Amino acid sequence: MVDQTEVRTALDQIEQELRKLGLWSSMPPSPEALQSVEPFCVDTLSLSEWLQWILIPRMNALLDGGLPLPGYCQILPIAEESFKELKQDHSALLDAIDAFDKAL
């Protein structure tokens, strides 16, 4: 069974790490960019944007509504690839994403 506290904690940690790395944006992407049907919106968003504007709000909405969460998630592999060019130490962000994956 999914531990909702672990999921929420991991989501909070992902947000904190995105902010620390300067990857958190105050400007949302265009509505068109958010409508992508590609996995992780790879054709319209960076992974940090997808985390901020898609994953975190949707997961929090599911948690707040008491709705079922996905039973499986593997964001870490794409995160490792997407963030490998970052100059800053981003290991805490990858750890938070890994914790999220494992919490489901």
Per-residue pLDDT tens over the stretch 24-49: 999 999 999 999 999 999 999 999 99
- Is it the case that residue 1 has pLDDT exceeding 80? no
pTM of the model: 0.94
**Structural domain containing residue 45:** 4-22+40-103
pLDDT at residue 71, rounded to an integer:
85
Q: What is the CATH number of the domain that holds 82?
A: 1.20.1440.40
DSSP labels, 62-103: HHHTTPPPPS----HHHHHHHTTT-SS--HHHHHHHHHHHHH
Q: How many domains does the chain have?
A: 1
Dihedral sign, Cα of residue 66, residue 72, residue 76, residue 77:
negative
Distance of CA 41 to the CA centre of its chain: 12
Residue 96 CA to residue 17 CA, distance in Å, equals: 8
Residue 4 CA to residue 99 CA, distance in Å, equals: 12
